[in-house]
Amino acid sequence: MNEKEIIYFDNAATTRLDDEVLKEMLPYLKDYYGNPSSIYKLAQKNKNAIERARQDIADIFNCRASEIYFTSGGTESDNWAIKSIAEAYKSKGKHIITSEIEHHAVLNSCKYLESQGFRVSYLKVDKNGLIDENELKKNICDDTILVSIMFANNEIGTIQDIKKLAEIAHEKNILFHTDTVQAVGYIKIDLKDLGVDAMSISAHKFYGPKGIGALYLNKKIKVLSYLHGGAQEFSKRAGTENVAGIVGMAKALELAYNNLEKNNLYVKDLRDKIIDGVLNNISHVKLNGDREKRLANNINFSFEFIEGESLLLMLDAKNIFASSGSACTSGSLDPSHVLLAIGLPHELAHGSLRITLGKHNTQKEIDYFLNVLPDIVKKLRDMSPLYEEYLSKK
Amino acid sequence: MNYSEKVMEHFNNPRNVGEIVDADGVGIVGNKKCGDIMKMYLKIRNNVIEDAKFKTFGCGAAIATSSMATELIKGKKISEALKITNKTVMEALDGLPPVKVHCSCLAEQAVHAALFDYAQKNNLEIKGLKVPKDTKEENCCAEEDGNNCSCSN
């Protein structure tokens, strides 16, 4: 491995923009600068580009173009869906159900609603991060108005049976939102089949640009304006559109869907090589999340006796970029809420390493990583009083 | 993490890692729940710290502050070593990000805990040395603000 080469293993955080997507976007960043709301030709070209992108995205997800709203990304989509559904349906009830392992965009939107008088139930998950449908049934109350469950988890990659969970909610006339930010690009979503009422997506997770996302809101539900102002986005989300971003997201989604099976097989093979390579060659390691119901690109290990940030820094020194659920990397004093929710003790959550692969990763990178990792783990364990304690007890 | 070059240098090449089998004083602070534990071993003769070694489970700053603290106390008289505070350690490392200040507190506490152990074993009273703070799980994770160690006071 050349010293200058980098190994990017953090594709759940964000991905590298595709060349083809960039090419599609460039004219809208430069030559086609007209405001889509204006009436002259320079502007109408942009308006048409937005509506074409909306239709393309709707075709891919099998919904109507009028059900796709462009946003600034996953966080905004989650905020909009949850807060506006809560507001629009509060006369029906003030109870919301979500899970303990949601992204903070969902969890903190729910926390905000709690401060506004709503009740929120946070479903527990099993040791692999899966939600039990009976848990959902048990938590439904007469005044439940919304269930929000993520399609695939960003930390441990666990994939939920969203179709089944949405059915359970619908039997009780409860609306269902899903955050599919990590799933799109790895799992084909057909909204007619899936049956959810609202869905959040984000372009930069599938080789699209940052700062653009979408919210699908089923026609049948009441939609409240999220940003007040002009008439953009069917008067529900004001502000001059991010035209280049919208065009880029549509292109990135098209590419992701056209190559989905191929990319999945490729990435899954690399993923399994890392999982097997690490579990077979390093002792006291645990794979977090479900082995089967798991995103093709997600790996999450806990290494006993060592701390995640140190591990990341040592990998960084080898130009390998990954992430961890340790408190030191979360910006708070507690380790990842997802790892705690699956029942990991604190020290194992602190010792976690997340590797999220992408289509640009290569076999050579995997070999290099598997080659350097054992020495790094050994160096940190040799320094660890916990390992010393373990050895003395042995 | 936005660490200084000094912190990274000590993290990548930590000084004095290891155990002292016949240590005169051993101190252990921090806990698993918070994600950092420091164990400090001291060899003391004629009131002088002749050798210091450490083992640390923790983040980059925890390892770098352990390394720097051992460097600072080696060869020092006990009375001088007690003057080395978390701030001394931080300054020697060209600073720490605010969220990592508590790692320098742990380093200070580890030195004190090891000296306390030495004093107890030898029935000595060391002026200025307090009983080590209990850093068991329920007492941990005190948030430090700015450059102050709320945990050591």
Tell me the chain B residues in contact with residue A331 when contact means C-beta distances shorter than 8 Å. Answer: 99
Give A19-258's CATH code, choosing from 3.30.56.10, 3.40.640.10, 3.40.50.740, 3.40.50.300: 3.40.640.10
On whether the CB atoms of residues A238 and A232 are closer than 8 A, the answer is yes
Q: Residue A365: enclosing H or E segment and its boundaries?
A: helix A363-382
Domain contains B35? yes
Domain contains B150? no
Q: Is residue B37 less than 8 Å (CB to CB) from chain A?
A: yes
Domain contains B151? no
Domain contains B26? yes
**Minimum distance, in Å, between the CA of residue B122 and any CA atom of chain A:** 25
CA B26, B30, B36 angle in degrees (round to 5)?
110
DSSP symbol at A131: P
Tell me the chain A residues in contact with residue B26 when contact means C-beta distances shorter than 8 Å. Answer: none
Positions of A annotated as catalytic residues are: 328
| Residue B149: pLDDT over 90 | no
Domain contains B49? yes
| Residue B150: pLDDT over 60 | no
CB contact under 8 A, A309 and B59: yes
| Residue A326: pLDDT over 50 | yes
| Residue A364: pLDDT over 60 | yes
Q: Which residues of A182-204 are buried (b: 16+ CB within 10 A; e: fewer)?
A: bbbbbbbbebeebbbbbbbbbbb
- Return all residues near B83 (Cβ < 8 A) that are at least 6 apart: none
CATH at residue B54: 3.90.1010.10
Residue with tokens 């006369």: A91
pLDDT tens figures, A276-288: 999 999 999 999 9
Distances (CA, A) of A230 to A87, A142, B3: 21, 38, 45
pLDDT tens figures, B90-113: 999 999 998 899 899 999 999 999
Q: What is the total count of domains within chain B? A: 1
On whether the CB atoms of residues A322 and A355 are closer than 8 A, the answer is yes
Which of A350, A375, A387 is the best substitution to test chain B (most B C-beta atoms within 10 A)? A350
**Which regions of chain A carry the CATH code 3.90.1150.10?**
260-393
Tell me the chain B residues in contact with residue A313 when contact means C-beta distances shorter than 8 Å. Answer: 1, 8, 11, 60
pLDDT tens figures, A181-216: 999 999 999 999 999 999 999 999 999 999 999 999
Domain contains B73? yes
pLDDT tens figures, A106-140: 999 999 999 999 999 999 999 999 999 999 999 99
| Residue A145: pLDDT over 50 | yes
**What is the per-residue pLDDT for A134?**
98
Cα–Cα nearest to B27, from B40, B43, B44: B40
Tell me the chain B residues in contact with residue A334 when contact means C-beta distances shorter than 8 Å. Answer: 141
Domain with B100 in it: 5-136
Length of chain B (residues) = 153
Mean pLDDT estimate for chain A: 96
CB contact under 8 A, B63 and A309: no
**What is the per-residue pLDDT for A321?**
97
Retrieve residue A265's tokens: 């097989």
Cα–Cα nearest to A85, from A108, A102, A109: A109
On whether the CB atoms of residues B59 and B103 are closer than 8 A, the answer is yes
The answer to whether the Cα torsion of A275, A279, A282, A286 is positive or negative is positive
Across A237-250, average pLDDT = 98
Q: Give dist(CA B73, CA B41) in Å, integer.
A: 12
Across A272-276, average pLDDT = 98
Q: What superfamily does domain A260-393 belong to in CATH? A: Aspartate Aminotransferase, domain 1 (3.90.1150.10)
Q: Give dist(CA A188, CA A358) in Å, integer.
A: 17
Domain contains B142? no
**What is the per-residue pLDDT for A4?**
67
Give the chain A residue whose CA is nearest to the CA of B143.
A333
**What is the per-residue pLDDT for A1?**
54
pLDDT tens figures, B20-63: 999 999 999 998 888 899 999 999 999 999 999 999 999 999 99
**What is the per-residue pLDDT for A2?**
56
Distances (CA, A) of A312 to A41, A202, A272, A273: 51, 26, 21, 20
CB contact under 8 A, B37 and A385: yes
**Minimum distance, in Å, between the CA of residue A285 and any CA atom of chain B:** 16
Share of chain A above pLDDT 90, in %: 95
Q: Give dist(CA A303, CA A314) in Å, integer.
A: 14
Residues of A with CB under 8 A from a CB of B: 305-307, 309-310, 313, 317, 326-329, 331, 333-335, 345-347, 350, 382-388
Mean pLDDT estimate for chain B: 88
